[in-house]
């Protein structure tokens, strides 16, 4: 059954995207598994948390994140948010890129350049916006990886570099 967007232009209350829009807390919509969400929307949730709840996390690493729902798979997104032309506010409110100016703490973006799920352009667009905003962020790109990294050397490198990012920004605790 397809969820219908609210008349006010807001996204449907049961969409995965609605989980991140309350600053300071995460409210999971009914029927959305927290365990599954961490795998499905981990990069998105990290970006949303870093931007919408600045200061809550001392650092964050976002892997292959949807940063602007207008760039994502139309079939998937329109079932949850409606068409962007009809519900622009739903897309704006649920896309982390529109809140990047709120970033306060170090942020790492990791993305495969040949990602066939979340287009690499999403991370490039956010990177460009963060540069213009003068924000503290790092980026790591993998030219031969898609959405799910499969090469051992990439996985080892990505996790080593993410670990170093956290050690640098959080210290060894």
Quick one: pLDDT at residue 3? Answer: 39
Cα 9 from Cα 15, distance rounded (Å)? 14
Q: What is the pLDDT of residue 22?
A: 35
Q: Is the whole model's pTM more than 0.85, yes or no?
A: no
SS3 per-residue string spanning the chain: CCCCCCCCCCCCCCCHHHHHCCCCCCCCCCCCCHHHHHHHHHHHHHHHHHHHCCCCCCCEEEECCCCCHHHCCHHHHHHHHCCCCCCHHHHHHHCHHHHHHHCCCCEEEEEECCCCCCCHHHHHHHHHHHHHHCCCEEEEEECCCCCCCCCHHHHHHHHHHHHHHHHHHHCCC
Please report the pLDDT score of residue 41 as a whole number: 78
pLDDT along the chain (173 residues), means of 10: 41 40 40 43 92 94 95 93 95 96 97 96 97 97 95 95 94 66
Q: What domains lie within the chain, and their CATH numbers?
A: 16-170 (3.40.50.1820)
Q: How confident is the model at residue 135, as a pLDDT?
A: 97
Chain center to CA of 21: 12
């Amino acid at each position: 059954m397809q969820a219908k967007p609210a008349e006010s232009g807001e996204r449907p209350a049961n969409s995965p995207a609605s989980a991140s829009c309350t600053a300071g807390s995460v409210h999971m919509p009914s029927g959305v598994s927290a365990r599954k969400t961490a795998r499905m929307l981990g990069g998105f949730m990290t970006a949303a948390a870093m931007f919408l709840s600045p200061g809550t996390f001392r650092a964050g690493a976002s892997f292959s994140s949807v940063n602007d729902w207008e760039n994502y798979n139309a079939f998937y997104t329109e079932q949850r948010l409606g068409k962007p032309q009809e519900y622009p506010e739903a897309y704006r409110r649920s896309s982390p890129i529109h809140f990047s100016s709120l970033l306060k703490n170090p942020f790492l973006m990791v993305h495969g350049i040949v990602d066939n799920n979340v287009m690499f352009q999403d991370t490039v667009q956010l990177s460009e916006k963060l540069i213009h905003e003068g924000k503290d962020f790092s980026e790591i790109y993998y030219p031969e990886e898609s959405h799910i990294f499969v090469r051992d050397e990439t996985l080892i490198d990505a996790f080593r570099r993410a670990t170093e990012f956290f050690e640098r920004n959080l210290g060894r605790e």
